[in-house]
Amino acid sequence: MSSFFTSSIGKKFLMSVSGLFLVVFLAVHLTANLFILGGPDAFNQSAHFMGTNPIITLMQPILAFGFLLHIIYSLIIQIKNWKSRPVKYKKVDQSETSTWASRNMIWLGIFVFGFLTVHIINFFYVIKFGEMNMITVNGVEMEDSYKLVAGLFTDFGAISYIYSAVYIISFIALGLHLHHAFWSAFQTLGLSNIAWRKRLSVLGDIYAIIVAAGFTIIPLYFLLF
């Protein structure tokens, strides 16, 4: 079993499984975040639920492990691919056989990871370990997560505009990453064939657009309204 996970196929298997796990997490995270469009009370209750629900609390270390697993094996596979081509081959037009996203998956991933680090510091770390304003909603005391989010997008002048722009670009990059990763993960796991390849590609594109557009709505909501 250990030899499988150290093999090329095993590494791709772990990267695909962890990637699909993160796909599910993104759907849950986006759903919770879009409650912000319902106003402070709706979002604060959603954030409070996500922060206090025992199942979600239990999933947090598993989620962190999934992220690390996906990132580590992605880097291992990419570095191995680079080392296997020490001499540049004759340059060909790869755009005829692959998409831009598929050729730049590692760079899209690194960019998203960089933003994710900032995102965790600004939100998760502050909520868990920082000093938060407390409010009461329907008789329940909770952190004012809405004020925290709104402040990052509106309270720091030009910096807020820059942060909003980076936020939007990052989720567009994530959408491009998902565009290729979605169907590729199923293919690696042997769950795709000629008939399903196109269907999974379409499903992946729809999912990628929903994720990118859904998260992009949040800074635009604060900037415009």
Render pLDDT for 177-187 as a digit per residue (tens, 0 to 9): 998 888 888 88
Q: What is the pLDDT of residue 84?
A: 81
Number of domains in the chain: 1
Please, are residues 10 and 4 in contact by the beta-carbon 8 Å criterion?
A: yes
Residue 57 in any domain: the answer is yes
Judge whether residue 86 has pLDDT over 80.
no
Q: What is the pLDDT of residue 95?
A: 54
Q: pLDDT per residue over 114-142, tens digit each?
A: 998 998 899 889 988 888 999 999 999 99
Residue 192 in any domain: the answer is yes
Comparing 37-41, 90-94, 130-134, 157-161, which segment has the lowest mean pLDDT?
90-94
| Tokens representing residue 2 in the block | 């250990």
- What is the average pLDDT across 58-87? 86
Domain extent at residue 168: 13-70+100-224
Residue 202 in any domain: the answer is yes
- What is the average pLDDT across 4-12? 80
Residue 4 in any domain: the answer is no
Judge whether residue 214 has pLDDT over 90.
yes
Burial label, 190 (beta-carbon count in 10 A; 0-12, 13-18, 19+): exposed
Q: What is the pLDDT of residue 77?
A: 87
Judge whether residue 1 has pLDDT over 70.
no
pTM of the model: 0.86
Q: What is the pLDDT of residue 87?
A: 55
Q: What is the pLDDT of residue 101?
A: 81
By percentage, how much of the chain surpasses pLDDT 70?
A: 93
Residue 156 in any domain: the answer is yes
What span, in angstroms and rounded, lies between the C-alpha atoms of 110 and 123?
20
Residue 51 in any domain: the answer is yes
What span, in angstroms and rounded, lies between the C-alpha atoms of 168 and 112?
11
Q: What is the pLDDT of residue 166?
A: 94
Please tell me what DSSP assigns to residue 87: S
Residue 83 in any domain: the answer is no
Q: What is the pLDDT of residue 98?
A: 72
Q: What is the pLDDT of residue 97?
A: 56
What sign does the CA torsion over 164, 207, 65, 81 have?
negative
Q: What is the pLDDT of residue 190?
A: 81
Q: What is the pLDDT of residue 88?
A: 53
Burial label, 59 (beta-carbon count in 10 A; 0-12, 13-18, 19+): middle
By percentage, how much of the chain surpasses pLDDT 90?
A: 51
Residue 208 in any domain: the answer is yes
